[in-house]
A and B are shown apart, each in its own frame.
Chain A
Amino acid sequence: MKTMIVREYNTVMLPDSYLLDLNTHQIKGCCGCWTCWWKTPGRCIHHDLDCFYHHYITAEKVTFYLTVSQGFISANLKTLFDRMIPLFLPYTNYGSGESMHDPRYERYPDIEIYYQDTFFNTAEKQIFEDYLQRTFYQFHSKTIHLTGETPGVRS
Chain B
Amino acid sequence: MKTLMLNGSPRADHGNTQLFIDHFQSGLTTPLPVRYLLRENPTTLALAMKEYDTILLVMPLYIHAMPGLVMKLFEELKPQSSHHQKIGFIVQAGFIESATARYLENYLSALAHRLNYTYLGTVIKGDAAACSILPHFFFGRLFKQLKALGVAYEKTGSFDPLLVKKLGNPVYLSKFQVRLLESRLVSRLNQVGWNWILKRNGCFENRYDRPFL
Measured CB to CB, the residues of A under 8 A from B are 27, 29-33, 37-43, 50, 53-54, 56-58, 69-76, 78-82, 84-85, 87, 89-95, 97-99, 104-105, 120, 123-124, 127, 130-131, 134-135, 138
Cα of A141 to Cα of B65 in the assembled complex, Å: 18
Q: How many residues of B contact A (CB 8 A)?
A: 52
Cα of A80 to Cα of B65 in the assembled complex, Å: 13
Do B72 and A75 have beta carbons less than 8 Å apart? yes
Interface residues of chain A: helix, strand, loop or mixed (majority): mixed
Cα of A74 to Cα of B96 in the assembled complex, Å: 27
Report B-chain residues with C-beta under 8 Å of the C-beta of A50.
Answer: 212
Report B-chain residues with C-beta under 8 Å of the C-beta of A53.
Answer: 211-212
Do A74 and B208 have beta carbons less than 8 Å apart? no
Give me 8 A-to-B residue pairs in the complex whose CB atoms sit less than 8 angstroms apart, sorted by A's number: A29-B68, A70-B114, A97-B173, A97-B175, A99-B173, A105-B212, A134-B103, A135-B63
Do A98 and B97 have beta carbons less than 8 Å apart? yes
What residue in chain A is nearest B67 (Cβ atoms)? A82
- Residue in B11, B62, B190, B211 whose Cβ sees the most chain A Cβ within 10 Å: B211
Contacts between the two chains (Cβ within 8 Å), count: 156
**Is B136 interfacial (CB-CB < 8 Å)?**
no
Do B213 and A32 have beta carbons less than 8 Å apart? no
Report A-chain residues with C-beta under 8 Å of the C-beta of B206.
Answer: 40-41
Do B68 and A30 have beta carbons less than 8 Å apart? yes
- CB of A131 to closest CB in B, whole Å: 5
Report A-chain residues with C-beta under 8 Å of the C-beta of B96.
Answer: 99
Do B208 and A41 have beta carbons less than 8 Å apart? yes
Q: Could you say which of B83-91, B151-159, B197-205 contacts chain A?
A: B197-205
Q: Restricting to B140-196, which residues have a CB under 8 Å from any CB of A?
A: 172-173, 175, 177-178, 181-182, 187, 190-191, 194
Report A-chain residues with C-beta under 8 Å of the C-beta of B177.
Answer: 94
Cα of A46 to Cα of B211 in the assembled complex, Å: 14
